[in-house]
Amino acid sequence: MKELPTPTFPFSQLGLRGALWPAPEPARPADAIAVPRARPVAADSAAGISVSWARHQDEVRAAQRLRYAVFAGEMGARLTTPVAGHDIDLFDDFCEHLLVRDDASGQVIGTYRVLTPAQARRVGSTYSDIEFDLTRLRDLRERMVELGRSCVHAEHRQGGVILALWGALAGFMSRNKLDTMIGCASIPMWHHGVTSGDAAASIWRQLSATHMAPIQYQVQPRLPLPVQRLDGALDVEPPALIKGYLRLGAKVLGPPAWDPDFNTADLPMLMRIDDLPARYKRHFQGR
């Protein structure tokens, strides 16, 4: 795991734009990764969190422990892992890992991992390629990053952590001249305590009518959730993370895949900087 010279910088809702969406730097070689630099911002005792990119393996391990606690401990995922109590897969060593820490305890309370185009070429695919046939996205790959393994500690899901993560991602995209993000957004396969795919089928029915990507970007799942055999008429809202993506202009690329290990229905989603609402686009473009 390479070391990344990325200092931690405090997250503050005060001065949010200047702290989290700095102006872009000059263009760099395709394989170079420009991570956000530290910037002085006003202290925010109410937020009490800091965002940084992992620089050492022990920091990646902290993110993997949080992932295990959320995915296995809360969601009941069946994880095959070489280190007990950690969610680890073959993509981790190729990804940049974004961390949010609680300032008081130092504990990692939120994380994303980011697979860049150069690293996707090295590993041979994205994680999304395992679940979907992404042939129609081939023309986007040179400027496309994959976001994955997003999770927030159960005691910190009031919104500030995800805002910190998205803000740092905005700076990352701007600095590295990238314009497209993809990922698998998960819907738990249970609703009101009942294990089934009805909630996922219902969310798919709603979003397929309102938020589908253009046909040239639509993809197919390798292991489809059998939505035609499920009750898609439930009045159920998408998970908060999916609703957040939709507010940012994200599109659904196709029907959900079933992930039997995580017991989730995974929606393929794509967000392009050009499709962002104007007020968000300024942030992602560093203005």
* CATH number, residue 119: 3.40.630.30
* CB count in 10 Å sphere of residue 14: 12
252 in any annotated domain: yes
Query: What is the model's pLDDT at position 190?
Result: 77
Query: What is the model's pLDDT at position 87?
Result: 97
Query: What is the model's pLDDT at position 157?
Result: 85
Query: What is the model's pLDDT at position 32?
Result: 56
Distance (Å, rounded) from C-alpha 280 to C-alpha 170?
Answer: 9
Give me the residues of the chain with pLDDT under 50, please.
1-30, 36-46
271 in any annotated domain: yes
Q: What's the number of domains the chain is made of?
A: 1
46 in any annotated domain: yes
Q: Looking at beta carbons, which pairs linking 272-280 to residues 24 or more positions away fall under 8 Å?
A: 272/179, 272/180, 272/181, 273/173, 273/179, 273/180, 274/179, 275/249, 275/250, 275/251, 276/248, 276/249, 277/247, 277/248, 277/249, 280/248, 280/249
The closest alpha carbon to 107, from 48, 158, 57, belongs to 48
86 in any annotated domain: yes
Q: Are 179 and 281 in contact (CB under 8 A)?
A: no
Distance (Å, rounded) from C-alpha 173 to C-alpha 247?
Answer: 18
The closest alpha carbon to 111, from 67, 172, 76, belongs to 67
Query: What is the model's pLDDT at position 41?
Result: 28
77 in any annotated domain: yes
Distance (Å, rounded) from C-alpha 51 to C-alpha 2?
Answer: 19
**Which alpha helices (DSSP H) does 5-50 contain, by range?**
16-20
Query: What is the model's pLDDT at position 21?
Result: 29
Query: What is the model's pLDDT at position 160?
Result: 86
Domain that holds residue 179: 9-284
Owner of token pair 């860049």: 116
Query: What is the model's pLDDT at position 33?
Result: 61
1 in any annotated domain: no
228 in any annotated domain: yes
